Amino acid sequence: MKKIKGERQIVIGVRTEAELTKEVIQAWKALEQRKPIGGPTFRLYFDSLDTLWRTLTPRRTELLQVLRQKGPLSIRKLATYLKRDYKNVRIDIRELNSSDLVTQTKEGLFIVPWDSIDLQIPLSAAS
């Protein structure tokens, strides 16, 4: 997925500790050599596909899409749009907030700060 200038994008994927360490070292070396590495890239990595899918369920993905389209909403209003139980939406918001996929405004409303999610699924990794 190509990033559009000014778009806030997050990369979500699966990385082992060794792969993550290698990626950080490569970025560090590029910075030391003053090589351009592009703009800031936000990343969220999980240790397995199972963990990724437990966090990014179909219902949570739908929640992200609705919240992004409708703008800042309370959990109650979001539950109404989704036609779901308030308690379940609150649980989903809490999980997505802890993963930085959703943030809360000063007014207590929730937003999706991302324009797009680049989901990277390694086909060779064991889940």
Tell me the per-residue pLDDT of 14-29, one tens digit each, with 9 for 90 and over: 988 888 788 778 878 8
Q: In the chain, what are the domain boundaries?
A: 9-120
* 37 phi and psi angles, rounded to 5 deg: -120, 10
Backbone angles phi, psi at 108, to 5 degrees: 90, 5
> Which tokens belong to 113?
């700060």
Q: Which CATH architecture has domain 9-120?
A: Orthogonal Bundle (1.10)
| DSSP tag of 3 | P
**pTM, whole model, 2 decimals?**
0.78
CA angle 24, 29, 35 (to 5 degrees): 115
Q: Is the pLDDT of residue 93 over 50?
A: yes
Helix (H, G, I), strand (E, B) or coil at 117: strand
